[in-house]
Amino acid sequence: MKALMFLVLSSLCATAMADQTPTDVAQQQPVVEEYTYSTHLDIAKVVSMSEVPNVCEVVPAKMEYDDSKGQRHILRYSIMGNGCTN
């Protein structure tokens, strides 16, 4: 009887923890911000930048960075590709 009660309670705990996991991950994921000329940038540390493709046109790029308060940001901006020869 004790073993059965233990299994029931442990399965309820596992279900409750599984329900909380997606909301915790969603809260940790920063919102993607669009860059404009009036955007104030507070970049303390660049975490990652997307690769610039080898094309001769304007392409979207992303930069992930931490600000001076330690908060993570993702910035989307436009950049000229590396494929132009002139």
The domain locations on the chain are 1-29, 31-86
Stronger pLDDT, 36 or 8, i.e. the higher one: 36
Report the pLDDT averaged over residues 51-79.
Answer: 95
CA-based angle 54:59:60, to the nearest 5?
125
Report helix, strand or coil for 44.
coil
Would you say residue 65 has pLDDT above 70? yes
Architecture of domain 31-86: Roll (2.30)
The per-residue pLDDT for 58 is 95
pLDDT tens-place string over residues 28-55: 788 999 999 999 999 999 999 999 999 9
In this structure, what are the phi and psi dihedrals at residue 82, rounded to the nearest 5 degrees? -90, 10
Contacts of 42 (CB under 8 A, 6+ apart): 67, 68, 69
This prediction's pTM: 0.63
Distances (CA, A) of 55 to 13, 18, 51: 52, 44, 12
